[in-house]
Amino acid sequence: MIIVLRPEATEKQIRHIVDKVKKLGLKPMVSKGIERTIIGVIGKEDILRVQPLEVFPGVEKVMPVLAPYKLVSKDFKPEKTIVDAGGVKIGGKKVVVIAGPCAVENHQTFLKIAKIVKKAGASLLRGGAFKPRTSPYSFQGLGEKGLKILREVSKEVALPTVTELMDIRDIDVVERYTDMIQIGARNMQNFNLLKEVGLLKKPVMLKRGLMSTIEEWLMSAEYILSNGNFNVVLCERGIRTFEKTTRFTFDVSAIPVVKNLTHLPVIADPSHATGKWGLVAPVGAAAIAAGADGLIVEVHSTPEEALSDGVQSLMPANFNSLMANVTSVARAVGRSI
């Protein structure tokens, strides 16, 4: 931690800060420059991070030196984490494609879509039973009934599943019916939910909040890991910016950035990021080229009839062509599918 003092900071103020630092068991090093005096602090930065040092008289600003996360960082665990979701490995050499409709609507439609994505080469099946919707008047999902359909179809097509958990009260039922639990973008900082899935063994797919920094995203993963669950897959799904031709702005750089900082696998969701089916394939290919460990995409057999997110759902033919495209880009960057 570096404490930068104001030009007019007095000796008394400096001593007050130095005393505080020492009282915390840390070692202050005062360095008087031409324009500013600086106090470097040696010792565990965590101790100081929770102190409101900016409030001490004479302090201009405080600059942390270390990242605030630990368990998710490569410093802590240099080798890559490979997450096993119902037998499918995420984070290895193989790129993983998770596909399915936005919401589970009924057994027949879901089975139809599941067969299509399985045939096209998807490794995991997605489908929401609990849907976070901006409007109270929109379709909110089938709830446990949807989870049962998810499980049945999962067995019929032999694909493990991922589905969203929105409410702590549903944790048992969601855990029972799925192979990987999704924490959605709007719940990325629902800290109590993070703590609870941290107590499970089941893999968790943690979506980046739509206006969350990469640091906050990793801190949310830290909540899960610090409770014991290291089976976390990060998912970049676009951030909110001023640009309005796409629903969000897919932050493709986040993929190599996160892979430099953490040992956790990172996948991409081009469907939610763009909000337009015509952009899913090029953005998905871009994510793989940038090093993503997989994709999660929305596919619907009849988007015109979809109860949610029809606009960003791929038709079967388009999903086939995405798979072909992604496969060839994956190979170009030394991965397989």
Contacts to a second copy from residues 51-90, by CB under 8 A: 51-52, 54-56, 63, 65-66, 68, 75
Q: Does 25 bind a second copy (CB under 8 A)?
A: no
Q: Does 4 bind a second copy (CB under 8 A)?
A: yes
Contact string (CB under 8 A) for a second copy, positions 110-129, x = contact:
--------------------
Q: Which one, 44 or 176, has the nearer CB to a second copy?
A: 44
Q: How far apart are CB 252 and a second copy at their closest, in Å? A: 4
Q: Does 293 bind a second copy (CB under 8 A)?
A: no
Q: According to CB under 8 A, which one of 10, 106, 108, 253 is a site residue for a second copy?
A: 253
Q: According to CB under 8 A, which one of 13, 81, 249, 321 is a site residue for a second copy?
A: 249
Compute the distance between CA of residue 296 and CA of residue 250 in angstroms, rounded to an integer: 13
Structure-block tokens of residue 187:
């719940």
Q: Of 244, 243, 286, 246, nearest to 268 (Cα)?
A: 286
Q: Does 138 bind a second copy (CB under 8 A)?
A: yes
In sequence order, the β-bridge partners of residue 266 are 234
Structure-block tokens of residue 10:
């007095």
Q: Does 50 bind a second copy (CB under 8 A)?
A: yes
Backbone angles phi and psi of 334, in degrees to 5: 80, 20
Q: How far apart are CB 13 and a second copy at their closest, in Å? A: 12
Q: Does 306 bind a second copy (CB under 8 A)?
A: yes
Q: Does 155 bind a second copy (CB under 8 A)?
A: no
Q: How far apart are CB 160 and a second copy at their closest, in Å? A: 26
Q: Which one, 5 or 85, has the nearer CB to a second copy?
A: 5
Q: Of 60, 46, 45, nearest to 13 (Cα)?
A: 60
- The 8 Å CB, 24+ separation contacts for 71-77 are 71/222, 71/225, 71/226, 71/230, 72/218, 72/221, 72/222, 72/225, 72/232, 72/261, 72/262, 72/263, 72/264, 73/218, 73/261, 73/262, 73/263, 74/260, 74/261, 74/262, 74/263, 76/263, 77/263
Binders in 174-233 for a second copy, by CB under 8 A: 186-187, 189-192, 195, 209-216, 219, 222-223, 226-227
Binders in 270-289 for a second copy, by CB under 8 A: 273-274, 276-279, 282-283, 285-289
CB burial string 50-64: b at 16+ within 10 A, e below: eeebeebebbeebee
